[in-house]
Amino acid sequence: MLIKKPGDIKPSEITDRALYLDRRRFIRGAGLAVAGIAGLGLLAGCEGSDAQSASSVPPTPGPRPIPDRRPGPYSTDEPETAWEDATSYNNFYEFGTGKDDPSVFAGLMKTEPWSVVIDGECERPGKYTLEDLLAPHAMEDRIYRLRCVEAWSMVIPWVGFSLGDLLKRFQPTSAARYVAFATLNDPEQMPGVRRRILDWPYREGLRIDEAMHPLATLAVGMYGETLPNQNGAPLRLVVPWKYGFKSIKSIVRISFVRERPPTAWNSLQPDEYGFFANVNPAVDHPRWSQKRERRIGEWGRRETLPFNGYAGEVADLYRGMDLRKNF
Ligand SMILES: Nc1nc2c(c(=O)[nH]1)N[C@H]1C(S)=C(S)[C@@H](COP(=O)(O)O)O[C@H]1N2
Ligand SMILES: [Mo]
């Protein structure tokens, strides 16, 4: 995002693609994820120490099927992005800034056991195991468009449920005007956080009414299986009407707060990455146009839609707001 100048996004994304898909096939083919990670550390230009710690940390189990799913609300019938693309072309800067870094390095992250701290303005704060957090929620297939601020997009079949259903269980008080989220921040498991590209941990936030909208999703899976680590295992946000950077991965803290919380990209570059970050073809990024997007797996470009095509569902949340100022 910040790292890449607009001029070098397209060529590198396209030309590197065949290369890194080949590398990934090599890793799988070898059946030795750990050896693969250690070897690729060098290819990816990482320091030897990263490669070493890679070989000493056992990878967590891969995706497992999620049974008993039911259809969720607002799914699109547009063709789904290929699994291979959605799991190898990622932004997860805790594992590096290259699109293939997350798929190569995220195996270092230990997602079991996992717990999430819920705190701030609510009646039931505490540290909850992932199992306790998920227990009451039925799993739904939710096929949503994902539009990155970098002007590419995908269609991903998430497995999850409405964020608001989870938030309500902790009984937010009337002082809770925003919800803040934070990602795990552990240099032992995340080689990328050793570099201060962002003010770690990665943080995001929503206004409470946005968070309570049924389209705002907590995802635990995709393509019918638990999330691969590179896609934000074991628990991530999916806010399909906003640029992808709002959809924070690998969540360890959810806080009910009074004031608008600081968020990772907005704090770093407020002129480029708004707090609201609603997908809006009428407001360009200072360094590139947002009018069109490249749908991964397609040739050519598509028109970008207001609110990423979810205006009918969410535009009312922003009634009376100047969307150019509150971008
Ligand atoms: N913790 C964390 N969450 C993150 C990011 C990140 O770097 N770190 N990148 C964001 C961006 S810019 C996008 S586009 C989406 C990408 O999600 P995907 O890799 O599952 O497609 O994750 C978002 N969530
Ligand atoms: Mo993004």
Q: Hey, whose CA ends up nearest to atom 14 of ligand 1?
A: 244
Is 259 annotated in a binding site? The answer is no
Is 148 annotated in a binding site? The answer is yes
Q: What is the pLDDT of residue 256?
A: 99
Is 247 annotated in a binding site? The answer is yes
> One digit per residue, pLDDT tens: the chain, 327 residues?
654 433 443 434 433 444 444 444 444 433 334 333 333 333 333 333 444 455 554 556 789 999 999 999 999 999 999 999 999 999 999 999 999 999 999 999 999 999 999 999 999 999 999 999 999 999 999 999 999 999 999 999 999 999 999 999 999 999 999 999 999 999 999 999 999 999 999 999 999 999 999 999 999 999 999 999 999 999 999 999 999 999 999 999 999 999 999 999 999 999 999 999 999 999 999 999 999 999 999 999 999 999 999 999 999 999 999 999 999
State how far the Cα of 285 lies from the Cα of 182, in Å rounded to an integer.
25
Cα distances from 129 to residues 115, 118, 135, 181, 222, in angstroms, run 4, 11, 10, 16, 21
Give me the residue label for tokens 């480029």.
272
Query: Which ligand 1 atom sits nearest the alpha carbon of residue 232?
Result: 20
Q: Which of 13, 91, 150 to mutate to test the pocket of ligand 1 (most atoms within 8 A of CB)?
A: 91
Domain ranges within the chain, ordered by starting residue: 11-318
Is 46 annotated in a binding site? The answer is no
Q: What is the pLDDT of residue 62?
A: 83
Is 53 annotated in a binding site? The answer is no
Q: What is the pLDDT of residue 117?
A: 98
Q: Which residues contact 324 (CB under 8 A, 6 or more apart)?
A: 282, 283
How open is the CA angle 74-77-82, to the nearest 5 degrees? 115
Q: What is the pLDDT of residue 119?
A: 98
Given phi > 0 = left and psi -120 to 50 = alpha, else beta, which region is 250? Answer: left
- 245 alpha carbon to ligand 1 midpoint, in Å? 5
Q: What is the pLDDT of residue 58?
A: 54
State how far the Cα of 39 lies from the Cα of 269, in Å rounded to an integer.
34
| Residues within 6 Å of ligand 1 by CB | 90-94, 146, 148, 183, 202, 231-232, 244-245, 247-250
Q: Hey, whose CA ends up nearest to atom 10 of ligand 1?
A: 245
Q: Which residues contact 219 (CB under 8 A, 6 or more apart)?
A: 142, 158, 159, 160, 227, 232, 235, 236, 237, 238
Question: Into which CATH architecture does domain 11-318 fall?
Answer: Alpha-Beta Complex (3.90)
Q: What is the pLDDT of residue 61?
A: 72
State how far the Cα of 223 lies from the Cα of 62, in Å rounded to an integer.
13
Q: Which of 3, 92, 202 to mutate to test the pocket of ligand 1 (most atoms within 8 A of CB)?
A: 92
Q: What is the pLDDT of residue 2?
A: 53
- 123 alpha carbon to ligand 1 midpoint, in Å? 30
What is the token pair recorded at 306? 């207001």
**Closest ligand by atom to 150 CA:** 2
- Is 39 within 8 Å of 54 (Cβ atoms)? no
- 65 alpha carbon to ligand 2 midpoint, in Å? 27
Q: Which of 148, 249, 265, 295 to mutate to test the pocket of ligand 1 (most atoms within 8 A of CB)?
A: 249
Query: Which ligand 1 atom sits nearest the alpha carbon of residue 265?
Result: 12
Residue 119 phi, psi (nearest 5) = -145, -175
Q: Which residues pair with 129 in a beta bridge?
A: 115
- 231 alpha carbon to ligand 1 midpoint, in Å? 7
- 146 alpha carbon to ligand 1 midpoint, in Å? 10
- 241 alpha carbon to ligand 1 midpoint, in Å? 14
Is 93 annotated in a binding site? The answer is yes
State how far the Cα of 140 lies from the Cα of 72, in Å rounded to an integer.
5
State how far the Cα of 193 lies from the Cα of 183, in Å rounded to an integer.
11
**Closest ligand by atom to 91 CA:** 1
